[in-house]
Chains A and B, each alone.
Chain A
Amino acid sequence: MKVHTTGTTAFGRRSFALGAVSVTAALVLSACGGGDAAESSDSTDLASAGATTLTMWVDAERSPALTDVTARFKEDTGIEIKLVTKDFEQVSDDFITQVPTGKGPDLIVGPHDWLGKFVQNGVIAPIELGDKAAEFQESSVAAMTYEGSTYGVPYSIENIGLLRNADLVPEPATTMDEVIANGKAAVENGAEFPFLVGMDPKQGDPYHLYPFQTSMGVPVFGTDENGGYDASKLELGNENGAAFAAKVKEWGEGGAGILNSNITADIAKEKFNAGASPYFLTGPWNVPLAQEAGINVVVDPLPTAGDQPAQPFIGVNGFFISSKSQNSLAATEFALNYLTTEAVQDAMFEGGGRPPALTASFEKAAEDPIVEAFGKIGADGVPMPAIPEMGAVWADWGGTELALIKGQGDPAESWAKMVSNVEAKIAK
């Protein structure tokens, strides 16, 4: 390096004296630069041999679970893992942009519904779990499977459940009608809200309402023979859709007032933690704060609105390996052989609080009744569709539900309109 720098600086000064850059001189000088460049490329090879460094992208929410684990991995194997914390909203798009240039990370952590986009863009490599697949909860491996190949190592499963303030309503309910009745009774006894669910006042929240929708027999997509979602079978528009739409309007602001588009996720959380409602439809992430606030939280199974089981979406978090990773063996060693061990999955649960995907670790974690209850609900759940076509569904789906909650429009008509619009977008 030293030769190189002094060489160029000297040249730089002289070049001025000469009046202009002489291309021939540059070529002569490149001889010493040449040796230099060769040296530096050698040294990178040595670096990868001596101390391999993997880069892993993770969002802030998932990183606490991983800091200890990566430190231990380094102790055990000498492979350093550089955790890069990125913004959750952006990390998957950045990954898609950056992998093809070869500058992307080796691994990325995230929910399984990124899979479709990743595969479509050719940025992740399949990973064969082998016998280890059997050690995971079935739904988690299923979620990580896309078009017959497994692409990720699962580490946690998440889904929503119904939180109940047992001081306000002591008994669990199984149907939505009972829940509403209990909620109304609680309101008469002084509670402020019969039922809470966080809504986005801009786009509604089909995710949280999905269990009611499935219980009335209206899944988003049908499935193909392998059990994967089939974009050509849009089930939103089946014969039960209108009934569900009517139900949403009935529960909305013009009707029972169970769903309120002004209650954002933050407001819902705050009100439930203040004891203002007996019910709160949400995920495990809101439980610790409620408990801290002194609420007697019980997790109930999801109530049904129709005659079918209430199936929430489940989200599986996992590790994906870049298709262009230069360190795929080290990355595989980490993801497949290290992260799948019971001790590590235990540690990730302790660090991040997300229910483990590894069955043995989950069973330990399920000693906590809250984790157990969410796990039971999740067992009935369906994976969030990972197919890219799902991206065409959200906006119209949420917007239509939002309008219905506000009491606008005829349910059957607006639902049908939404379905045809989604179909048109998917067809593009």
Chain B
Amino acid sequence: MSNSTLTPAGKGTAESTAGTVAAQPRKSFGHWFRDKGWRHLVGVVMGVFALFPLAYVLSAALSPTGTLVSANGLFTTVALDNFIDLFSDPQKPFAKWFMNTLIVGLITSAGTVFLGALAAYSFSRMRFTGRRFGLMSLMLLQMFPQMLGVVAIFLLLSGISDVVPWLGLGSQTGLIMVYLGGALGVNTYLMYGFFNTVPKSLDEAARIDGASHVQIFFTIILRLVTPILAIVGLLSFITATGEFLIASIVLNDPDAQTLAVGLYSFVGDSQSRSWGVFSAGAVLAALPVMALFLFLQRFISSGLTSGAVKG
């Protein structure tokens, strides 16, 4: 539907502004700036805005005295003490936390993408009783202030522990399940919106060719919305790895904890906080996110989808 409604609109505007972009082959600085240069300028300015506060974190991570607030003392001393401390306390097995976080994050993110995509497909492509109600409830559910959520989730998992211990308190599986409970929330919405932008004529064509709904889903729709799948995957990975409250009540054993919970233990007491070590941990914890993003960029990058849509 989107295709058909939009093409005329595009044409209309195109005619009215014809001539303004009469191609000028001369590659002047002005042209370069209008085309790309300003983008670099924005990139640098926003880069500073985005990174500056993080410079404090990095500075604290590299400073043996580890304060977070000093305005003038950025990177006055650079040492790896905090990173060494991070890996040397057997009570706080950072390497283990790191692995736990990766496991929980990746499984959650894969599960979220899968469950969310299934639901988004049915909302986008099928018409059934309760569909609108479903969409609306999904949205409203997210709006409930989660202040008491932690108590409820604890009681729930505590009940589950009584029946299936390996799914309840103290298990990462349990934690992942709680996270998957959120799979149908905002992420489904995100994907639903994008599924709607894939022309339905494609499904029709495939169905006429004899494809089943499963085939259409896996081979056509999912391929076309790969960018958003990648982004939902990344977002849910970040959410799952950064989540603190639920993880801290579900995982009690230090060996099973995730990074978010473990790292807080460095700054839990207001009287003496190891900001340096905490910052070092936070810097390392950001690495998987960056790595995942760089990995997913190939799915996000343009060009991949357009051909398929046309085909």
Interface residues of A (CB under 8 A from B): 55, 59-64, 67, 82-90, 94, 97-98, 101, 103, 264-267, 269-270, 283, 285-286, 289
Contact = CB atoms under 8 A, between A and B. Distances in A.
B105 to A, nearest CB: 20
B15 interface: no
B254 A87 contact: no
A59 B161 CA distance: 25
A59 B69 contact: no
A103 B151 CA distance: 13
B271 A283 contact: yes
Contact of A67 (B91, B252, B264, B272): B91
A26 to B, nearest CB: 15
21 contacts: A59-B265, A61-B269, A61-B272, A64-B91, A82-B253, A84-B253, A86-B265, A86-B268, A87-B261, A87-B264, A87-B265, A88-B269, A90-B248, A98-B154, A101-B158, A103-B158, A265-B270, A266-B68, A266-B69, A269-B67, A289-B65
B271 A85 contact: no
B169 interface: yes
Contact of B69 (A85, A267, A286): A267
A266 B66 CA distance: 10
A101 B155 contact: yes
B161 A103 contact: yes
B253 A94 contact: no
Nearest to B65: A289
Contacts of B194: none
Contacts of A67: 91
A4 B266 CA distance: 43
Nearest to A289: B65
Contact of A270 (B67, B92, B269): B67
B249 interface: yes
A-B interface, 10 closest residue pairs, ranked by CB to CB distance from nearest: A61-B269, A60-B265, A88-B268, A87-B268, A285-B271, A285-B272, A60-B268, A84-B252, A88-B269, A101-B158
Interface in B11-30: none
Contacts of A101: 154-155, 158
Contacts of B146: none
Contacts of A62: 269
Contact of B268 (A59, A84, A269): A59
Contacts of A267: 69-70
A285 B68 CA distance: 18
Interface residues of B, number: 28
A97 B154 contact: yes
Contacts of A89: 268
B154 A60 contact: no
Contacts of B161: 103
A354 to B, nearest CB: 10
Interface class of chain B by DSSP? loop
Contacts of A269: 67
Contacts of A286: 272
A12 to B, nearest CB: 15
A289 B68 CA distance: 16
B160 to A, nearest CB: 11
Given A85-B92, A103-B158, A266-B275, 12 more contacts: A59-B265, A60-B92, A61-B269, A61-B271, A63-B91, A64-B91, A86-B248, A87-B265, A87-B268, A266-B68, A270-B69, A286-B272
A60 B269 contact: yes
Contacts of B268: 59-61, 86-89
Nearest to A292: B65
A86 B275 CA distance: 17
Contacts of A59: 265, 268-269
B68 to A, nearest CB: 7
B158 A85 contact: no
A103 B265 contact: no
Given A60-B269, A97-B151, A285-B272, A85 B91 contact: yes
Contacts of A61: 268-269, 271-272
Nearest to B168: A103
B68 A94 contact: no
Contact of B249 (A88, A94, A285, A289): A94
A246 B28 CA distance: 70
A292 B270 CA distance: 21
Contacts of A83: 91, 254
Interface string B48-82: 00000000000000000101111000000000000
Nearest to A273: B65
B266 to A, nearest CB: 6
Interface string B79-119: 00000000000011000000000000000000000000000
Nearest to B264: A87
B74 to A, nearest CB: 13
Nearest to A266: B69
Contacts of A88: 268-270
Interface in B145-173: 151, 154-155, 158, 161, 169
B252 A87 contact: no
A41 B67 CA distance: 51
A65 to B, nearest CB: 11
Nearest to B90: A67
Contacts of B272: 61, 285-286
A233 B41 CA distance: 64
A90 B68 CA distance: 23
Contacts of B65: 289
B115 to A, nearest CB: 22
A101 B67 CA distance: 40
Contacts of B169: 103
A341 B266 CA distance: 29
Nearest to A103: B158
B31 to A, nearest CB: 50
B254 A84 contact: yes
A98 B250 CA distance: 11
B265 A266 contact: no
A161 B282 CA distance: 34
B151 A85 contact: no
Contacts of A90: 248
A396 B224 CA distance: 57
Contacts of A82: 253
